[in-house]
């Protein structure tokens, strides 16, 4: 990229504006063209400066970040990276921001702000760069199409026996899903389109620890499946989806005739924990041709090698297409690796998943 990415920093904290400005300006590909302390100042500076990317504080006076984001995406859609506090409330608001069209988020630490932000400088800069390449129109099309779906109640039939003591028969099928940037909404779209009798699902989404539980709760509310944050040793049951906790790898192991979740804190893979490659590798080894792998929107190459191993083991594999992806990095890498059987738009993946997973 020859021209620098122009960023507007919006935050009610003067210290946060200063630190984010210095951090982003230290990257040779990024230029902070201005900052604003509230939504009204941000609105004026967007018109004046025409930035490529906005970093937006979740909690601001006068007009909160969600209200501003909703208006922005309706009137002047642009790539937005949310800056969220590491709290349960901050996690919920951030997930709502992603539903409204924000591309990604970074976590604002509660203590030792300057040192902690400096430690994650590369992550913040990389998310801003990814946002600059994101297809905001894709997010807006997706959100508009799903307004009616989001209002429907989850299928109560799938809720019966949600605990580990439920009398479910063992499935010989398993579905593995991996995603990163834009993935929380893409995963939601897939889960909402599945039936309660689908095979057990394991999910690796790049997400911080404080957000993964809230994400699982949200998916449990809107999908026909029972969705939870995975626990070590938990049995993988039909009609259930298990989301890797932030900062832990999720693998699938076989215990007799049953698949179970295995969690560990081994070093990051592809700079991520949870890593999609870790999940896909385990599914390739454990379930082989009885598995289906899905790689959704995301920056980088995590999951590409693992999907190739799943493919070579006989699993059916699906990659999200470019037009429906917010960031077509991981699916594209998997296609180039030669491990993808089907490339398809997001809205068709759930139906195809059911066809593949329930085939004889």
> Rounded to an integer, what distance in angstroms lies between the CA atom of residue 99 and that of residue 122?
25
| Length of the chain (residues) | 360
Cα distances (Å, whole numbers) of residue 351 to 190, 194, 195: 9, 7, 9
Q: Among all chains, which residue has been given the structure tokens 């307004």?
A: 147
pLDDT tens-digit profile of 301-315?
A: 999 999 999 999 999
| Structural contact between residues 237 and 165, judged by C-beta atoms closer than 8 angstroms | no
pLDDT for 141 equals: 53
Of the candidate ranges 32-36, 58-62, 201-205, the one whose mean pLDDT is the lowest:
58-62
Q: Any idea what DSSP says for residue 236?
A: -
Enter the tokens of residue 215: 């994400």
Mean pLDDT of 215-229: 96
- CA 126/CA 112 separation, integer angstroms: 22
Active site residue 302: yes
pLDDT bin (cut points 50, 70, 90) of residue 257 is confident
In the chain, % helix, strand, coil (3-state, to 5) comes to 40, 20, 35
Domains of the chain: 5-134 (3.40.50.2300), 157-357 (3.40.50.180)
SS3 state at 230: coil
- Report the distance separating Cα 2 and Cα 29, nearest Å: 8
Choose, from 35, 180, 251, 282, the residue flagged as catalytic.
Answer: 180
Which position among 107, 206, 212, 325 bears the catalytic label? 206
As a whole number of angstroms, the distance between CA 183 and CA 204 comes to 10
CA 146 to chain centre: 17
Which two structure tokens, joined as six digits, stand for 279?
A: 């999940």
Task: Kindly indicate the confidence band of residue 148, based on its pLDDT and cuts at 50, 70 and 90.
Answer: very low
Query: Three-state SS for 37?
Result: coil
Whole-angstrom CA distances from 16 to 19, 272, 308, 334 are 5, 26, 42, 37
What does the buried/exposed string (b/e) look like for 198-232 if buried means 16 or more CB atoms within 10 Å of the residue's CB? bbbbbbbbbbeebbbbbbbbbbbebbbbbbbbbee
325 is catalytic: no
Asked if residue 241 lies in contact with residue 223, where contact means CB atoms within 8 angstroms, the answer is yes
Which position among 302, 321, 324, 325 bears the catalytic label?
302
- Hey, which of 60-69, 138-147, 186-195 has the most confident mean pLDDT? 186-195
- Model confidence pTM above 0.75: yes
* Percent of the chain predicted with pLDDT > 90: 72
* Calpha distance 257→131 (Å, rounded): 44
Q: Of 264, 141, 276, whose CA–CA distance to 202 is shortest?
A: 276
Number of H helices, E strands in the chain: 14, 14
């Amino acid at each position: 990229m020859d021209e620098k990415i122009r960023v507007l920093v919006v935050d009610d904290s003067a210290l946060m504006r200063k630190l984010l400005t210095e951090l982003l300006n230290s990257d040779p590909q990024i230029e902070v063209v201005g900052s604003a302390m509230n939504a009204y100042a941000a609105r004026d500076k967007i018109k004046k400066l025409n930035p490529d990317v906005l970093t937006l504080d979740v909690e601001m006076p006068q007009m909160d970040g969600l209200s501003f984001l909703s208006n922005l995406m309706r009137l002047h859609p642009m790539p937005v990276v949310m800056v969220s506090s590491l709290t349960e409330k901050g996690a919920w608001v951030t997930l709502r921001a992603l539903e409204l069209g924000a591309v990604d988020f970074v976590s604002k630490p509660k203590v030792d702000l300057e040192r902690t932000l400096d430690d994650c400088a590369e992550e913040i800069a990389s998310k801003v760069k990814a946002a600059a390449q994101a297809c905001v129109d894709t997010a807006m099309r997706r959100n508009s199409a799903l307004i009616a779906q989001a209002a429907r109640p989850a299928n109560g039939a799938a809720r019966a026996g949600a605990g580990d003591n439920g009398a479910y028969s063992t499935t010989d099928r398993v579905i593995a899903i991996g995603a990163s940037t834009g993935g929380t909404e893409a995963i939601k779209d897939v889960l909402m389109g599945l039936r309660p009798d689908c095979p057990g699902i394991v999910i690796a989404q790049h997400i911080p620890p404080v957000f993964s539980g809230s994400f699982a709760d949200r998916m449990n509310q809107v999908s026909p499946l029972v969705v939870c944050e995975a626990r070590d040793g938990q049995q993988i049951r039909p009609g259930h989806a298990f989301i890797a906790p932030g900062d832990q790898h999720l693998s699938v192991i076989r215990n007799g005739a049953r698949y179970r979740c295995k969690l560990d804190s081994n070093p990051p893979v592809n700079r991520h924990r949870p890593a999609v490659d870790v999940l896909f590798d385990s599914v390739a080894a454990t379930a082989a041709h009885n598995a289906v792998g899905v790689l959704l929107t995301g920056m980088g190459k995590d999951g590409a090698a693992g999907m190739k191993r799943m493919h070579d083991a006989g699993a059916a594999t699906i990659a999200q297409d470019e037009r429906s992806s917010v960031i077509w990095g991981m699916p594209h890498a998997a296609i180039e690796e030669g491990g993808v059987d089907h490339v398809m738009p997001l809205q068709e993946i759930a139906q195809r998943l059911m066809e593949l997973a329930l085939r004889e």
